[in-house]
Amino acid sequence: GQQLNQSPQSMFIQEGEDVSMNCTSSSIFNTWLWYKQDPGEGPVLLIALYKAGELTSNGRLTAQFGITRKDSFLNISASIPSDVGIYFCAGQLRGSSNTGKLIFGQGTTLQVKP
Amino acid sequence: NAGVTQTPKFQVLKTGQSMTLQCAQDMNHNSMYWYRQDPGMGLRLIYYSASEGTTDKGEVPNGYNVSRLNKREFSLRLESAAPSQTSVYFCASSEDRVTKAFFGQGTRLTVV
C-alpha cells in the first residue's frame, strides 16, 4: 500500500538546537499534516498544509508542503525540553478527499537534553 | 472541550474474548476513524466512516468490525481477540474535505 517514509527515526539534541525532519513518498498528496504525540496521549495537530509550496509557521515550528506534492518537512527552532515527543507526518492522498483518510509516517522520536 | 473521548483507557483480554471500544466526538464531525499504533509503525488505519451510516475498511481491518451508531459515536469491536491485536488504539474525527483529524487519548489493549 501507500507509504510515507519519515526520517530521521530518532534524534537526541541539545536544548537550543534547531531540528529538522521530513517525510517523502512516491505518491502525490493533497494535504500534509504534522502531529506531535506526548507519552500516553493521542497525537495533537501542529500544522496543516494544503497547497504545494505552502510554508506555514506555528511559533517555533515551520513546515512546508513540497513542490512535487510528494514530500514535506518540519523544522523546530531553538528546541526546549517540552519539545520531547514523537512527531508524525500524515498525508491525504490525491483522490481521497471525500473521506479525509490519512496515511501516517513511522514517526520521529525527539529527545532534548537540557 | 471534550473533543474525542475513548473508553476504556486500558484493557486486558484473554485470547478469544470479545470486547467493544467506544468512541464519541462532540465536534459535529462527519468522518471518524479507528487507528492502531504499534512501535516503529506509526498509525495504521483499521476502519473509517466518512459519514453517518457508512463504514469502509482501512489498511488493517482483519479481526475487527465497526459500527457508526450515530454521527457522534463510532465503535470498534474485536470478536475474538488475538495476541497480535495487542496495541494502542486511537479514535479520530475530522470534517469532510478538511482533513484536520483530532484524536482521542487512546485505549491500551493487551491480549494475553
Of A1, A42, A48, the CB nearest to B90: A42
Residue A95 has pLDDT above 80, yes or no: no
Q: Can you tell me the distance from the alpha carbon of A113 to that of B42, in angstroms, rounded to the nearest whole number?
A: 24
The Cα of B80 is separated from the nearest Cα of chain A by a number of Å equal to 26
The pLDDT, as a whole number, for residue B101 is: 86
Q: Can you tell me the distance from the alpha carbon of B90 to that of A41, in angstroms, rounded to the nearest whole number?
A: 10
CB A62 within 8 A of CB A72: no
Q: Can you tell me the distance from the alpha carbon of A19 to that of A75, in angstroms, rounded to the nearest whole number?
A: 5
Residue A93 has pLDDT above 90, yes or no: no
Identify the bridge partners of residue B88 per DSSP, sorted by sequence position: B37, B108
Cell reading at B77: 469491536
Q: Which residues of A touch B43 (CB under 8 A)?
A: 43, 88, 90, 104
> pLDDT tens for residues B42-56?
899 999 998 888 999
Handedness of CA B66, B90, B100, A23 (dihedral sign): negative
Residue of A101, A103, A109 to mutate when probing chain B, most B C-beta within 10 A: A101
Task: Identify the band that residue A87 occupies on the pLDDT scale cut at 50, 70 and 90.
Answer: very high
Handedness of CA A28, A58, A17, A39 (dihedral sign): negative
Instruction: Kindly report the average pLDDT of chain A as a whole number.
Output: 91
